[in-house]
Amino acid sequence: MGMVRQADAPLRGLNTFGIDARARVLWRLDSLDDLAQLGEVLRDDAGKGHPRPPLILGGGSNLLIADDPQQPIVQMALRGLRIVEDDGDTVIVEAAAGEAWDPLVRWTLSQGLAGLENLALIPGTVGAAPIQNIGAYGVELRDCFESLDAVDLGSGIARSFTADDCAFGYRDSVFKHVDAAQWLVTSVRLRLSRTADLKLDYGEIRAELSEAHIVAPTPTDVADAVSRIRRRKLPDPTVIGNAGSFFKNPLIEPEQAQAVRAREPELPCWPSGDRVKVSAAWMIERCGFKGMRIGDAGVHARHALVLVNHGHARGSDILALAMQIRSAVEIRFGILLEAEPVVVGAARL
């Protein structure tokens, strides 16, 4: 059958910001059998002097297309979900990289498997989840990560990565670093359990459960509570374009945190290893950006960390607003914000 190739492909429906960009060429990967062909066409493309590595697209939910991308785009569309190991309590689930994340969460819950409940309703695909070590409400992907399979698009060589190999950090992994840019994740294995070990410490979850009069929550109750909180705070990308949090919460040295807190005592801070995580949303709100709008680029009215496309913003409009926010926060707090989404088609933010 072969891969689906599209030249001059419209990208508006393939990124949750809804940026109206076009790709020079887009390849859709529906089958592992097509990998050899994909390697060949990409090497051929590079041989013609086109830029590489390719941009790998999952749900397009952690992406800002600042300008028409010149590199080829590979749309990951591999599907498949299965249980690969089951000792009666611990269960290893394997999901293909093109599966959507939230339906996977719901499928595992329907199988009586706990572990992913706090990660409910995160947009995007399974293959993208380890790239930035997705996290929410006190849990990160690494907490239930078993291993993944990936293919080096440069050489065609496939290998597995353990959690150690992935070098997970806060919204970070080995795959985000330049020397690893050719790895295409093909499937991810997760270690789940029939015995729930619920993580309810993120205050809003308990409040949400008690609001619903739930005293002995199941993993599904937690997933439902998390989903309700997210729906309330975060804009639905099918209604208003966005890529979730646009900036990471900065990790700073304890001495710096102490100095900033002396001037800004209300700045929310959390210990994180030997550093301190500070709230980017709070700093952005304090600088007056919450709900602000410049043309169609804006800051969400209910969450200052989320940049939104009110309709026809270009990627460069969103990027310009992000830069304005970043310099305002740096001037007031002396802290440099780092973008969370991948920014393509422009110099790095």
* 168 near ligand EPU, rule: CB under 6 A: no
Comparison of 244 and 345: residue with beta carbon closer to ligand EPU: 244
Q: How far apart are CA 122 and CA 337, in angstroms?
A: 22
* 16 near ligand EPU, rule: CB under 6 A: no
Comparison of 290 and 314: residue with beta carbon closer to ligand EPU: 290
* 249 near ligand EPU, rule: CB under 6 A: yes
Comparison of 134 and 153: residue with beta carbon closer to ligand EPU: 134
* 209 near ligand EPU, rule: CB under 6 A: no
Is 140 a known active-site residue? no
Helix 219-233 and helix 203-211, axial crossing angle in degrees, nearest 10: 100
* 340 near ligand EPU, rule: CB under 6 A: yes
In contact, 219 and 196? CB cutoff 8 Å: yes
Q: How far apart are CA 310 and CA 288, in angstroms?
A: 19
Comparison of 121 and 148: residue with beta carbon closer to ligand EPU: 121
3-state SS class at 216: coil
Q: Which residues contact 327 (CB under 8 A, 6 or more apart)?
A: none
Considering only residues 248, 275, 293, 332, which one is a binding residue for ligand EPU as defined by CB under 6 A? 248
Task: Count how many Cα atoms sit within 13 Å of the Cα of residue 146 in the half-sphere of its side chain.
Answer: 19
Across 127-144, b (16+ Cβ under 10 Å) vs e yields: bbbbbbbbbbbebbbbbb
Among 42, 61, 77, which Cα is nearest to 122's?
61
Determine which one of 106, 171, 314, 326 is catalytic: 171
Considering only residues 113, 187, 192, 303, which one is a binding residue for ligand EPU as defined by CB under 6 A? 303
Considering only residues 67, 68, 264, 285, which one is a binding residue for ligand EPU as defined by CB under 6 A? 285
**Among all chains, which residue has been given the structure tokens 């529906």?**
30
Task: Count how many Cα atoms sit within 13 Å of the Cα of residue 317 in the half-sphere of its side chain.
Answer: 20
Is 159 a known active-site residue? no
User: Running DSSP on this structure, what letter comes out for residue 20?
Assistant: -
* Amino acid at the residue 161: F
As measured in angstroms, the least distance from the Cβ of 305 to ligand EPU is 5
As measured in angstroms, the least distance from the Cβ of 122 to ligand EPU is 7
Is 171 a known active-site residue? yes
Query: How long is the chain?
Result: 349
Comparison of 38 and 126: residue with beta carbon closer to ligand EPU: 126
Per-residue contact track with ligand EPU, 210 to 239, x per CB under 6 A?
A: -----------------------xx-----
Tell me which residues touch ligand EPU (CB under 6 A).
136-137, 233-234, 244-245, 248-249, 268, 279, 281-282, 285, 290, 303-305, 340
**Active site members:** 171, 245, 340
